[in-house]
Amino acid sequence: MFKKGFPYKCVIAAVLVISASITAFYGWHLNSDETVRPPEDIEEYLFWNPKYLKDFSLTTAGNKKLGLDQLLGKWSFIFFGYTHCPDVCPATLGLLSVTFKSLEKNPAIAHEIQGIFISVDPDRDTPEHLKEYTAYFHPKFIGATGSAAQVDAITRQMGALYALYKEESKDDYQVSHNSTVFLVDPRGRLYGRFPPPHVPQEIAEAFIKIRDFYNAQEDKRWTLF
């Protein structure tokens, strides 16, 4: 018990300040996203400061929603295009399929990855048609689209530029689009990208290293000291 005249209020205040400081430090350490330089062999694929994606709303077959919630907990390989694409889209999806088959030899990785093809041409690409189209390349690939505004809500966040040239024809028109495969991490951040040319073995090997780097950073994030 404190003696009369002992500045116990100051002691209590000091204890509270120290406790608050420890709590703040723990919370900062737990949630901070410090910029850590990745290994040189995967540096070219990654964003040093991954940004969290804002929620978006697209539709897949069966009128199911594809939004941010469907990306959380998975590594998402996202490609933007359209089913009438004569070359880039089928070639990229074909190469991505080979990449997935290589990665899926590891059961743990197979459970963590998903391929998503987002059509920027909703007038011609229905969710049901996208399901048939993506299944041709890989049974687990997901096809999604939405209104022009809904599509723009995700393309603008990821820097996936595109343009529709509808003045050429009402039904038979071309679409110019980005040919990069974007990588979103399990926390819903735009984590990296694989620009062309897409070489399946190189992408698979790079992703394994990216995953290892990410997991190491996650372990540190949950460490107090």
DSSP string over 52-88: EPPP-EEEEGGGEEEEGGGTTTSEEEEEEE-TT-SSH
Residue 95 carries which DSSP code? H
- Residues paired with 182 in a beta bridge: 78, 193
pLDDT at 13: 42
pLDDT of residue 36: 79
Q: Read off the amino acid at residue 37.
A: R
Q: Are 192 and 47 in contact (CB under 8 A)?
A: yes
C-beta of residue 123 within 8 angstroms of C-beta of residue 85: no
The answer to whether residues 160 and 180 touch, using CB atoms and an 8 Å cutoff, is yes
Helix ranges, the chain (H):
8-31, 40-43, 88-103, 107-112, 127-137, 148-158, 200-221
Residue with tokens 């030899």: 105
Domains of the chain: 40-223 (3.40.30.10)
Burial of 96 (0-12, 13-18, 19+ CB in 10 A): buried
Per cent of the chain over pLDDT 70 is 82
Four-residue CA torsion sign, 172, 178, 179, 182: negative
What are 130's two structure tokens?
């996208």
Beta bridge partners of 158: none
Tokens of 58: 């697209």
Predicted model pTM: 0.83
Ranges under pLDDT 50 in the chain: 1-2, 6, 8-32, 224-225
Taking only the tens place, the pLDDT of each residue in 149-168 is 999 999 999 999 999 998 76
In this structure, how many other beta carbons lie within 10 angstroms of the beta carbon of residue 52? 13
